[in-house]
Amino acid sequence: MSKREKIILIVTAVAVLIGGYTYFFSSPSKVISPFTQRVSIDELNSFVLETATGLMGFELTKAEAHSIARAEALWARDIFLSGENLEEEELLGVSFIYSGYLESKGRKMAVINGLEYNEGDEIEPGGYIVRSIHSNKVVIELKGKKQKTVVPLVDQ
């Protein structure tokens, strides 16, 4: 038996002995119920008021609101069970997934984040424009800026 195996067996034996002692011989810890402590009504009301006031001033960003709306929608497929890694490009905190391409009668259409767009369309949640559509990628630009990003087509 190698030195490494002996060390592993010793550590395992010590862990089992400590666990057995704790389980069989230690006294049960005193559990403090939250119902045994009395809180005054005034303290409780002030806590609720502080929490409610804090939540009223909280606003979601457009990206957060869009993410929540997309998360609440039904998913077409479970990406975690399929084993696929979706390639996505991020532009200022918003991610884009280019998952479909269609060309008919000279018109090109891209499926980005599950929605269909033509060249020049504004992408949800807003502020981004589809500049060009190709069979293997789309070029997206931030409105009012010259910042462009290329999003590759995801193979399904």
Residue-level pLDDT at 8: 94
Kindly tell me if the per-residue pLDDT of 92 is higher than 60. Answer: no
Q: Let me know if residue 120 belongs to a domain.
A: yes
Please give the model's pTM, rounded to 2 decimal places.
0.41
Q: Is residue 103 domain-resident? A: yes
Domain assignment of residue 88, yes or no = yes
Domain for residue 9, yes or no? Answer: no
pLDDT of residue 90: 44
Is pLDDT above 60 for 87?
no
pLDDT at 94: 72
Across the chain, what does the average pLDDT equal?
80
Binning pLDDT at 50, 70 and 90, where does residue 88 land?
very low
pLDDT band at 77 (very low <50, low <70, confident <90, very high): low
pLDDT of residue 106: 83
- Of 28 and 59, which is predicted with more confidence? 59
Q: What is the dihedral of CA 45, 50, 51, 57, to 10 degrees?
A: 140
Question: What is the b/e burial string over 82-91, where b = at least 16 CB atoms within 10 angstroms of the residue's CB?
Answer: eeeeeeebeb
In a domain, 59, yes or no: no
Query: Residue 116 sits in a domain of what CATH number?
Result: 2.30.30
* DSSP line for 89-109: EEETTEEE-EEEEEEETTEEE
The mean pLDDT value for 85-104 works out to 68
What integer pLDDT is reported at residue 18 of this predicted model?
A: 93
pLDDT, average across residues 116-126 = 84
Number of folded domains that form the chain: 1
Its domain, for residue 119, covers 74-152
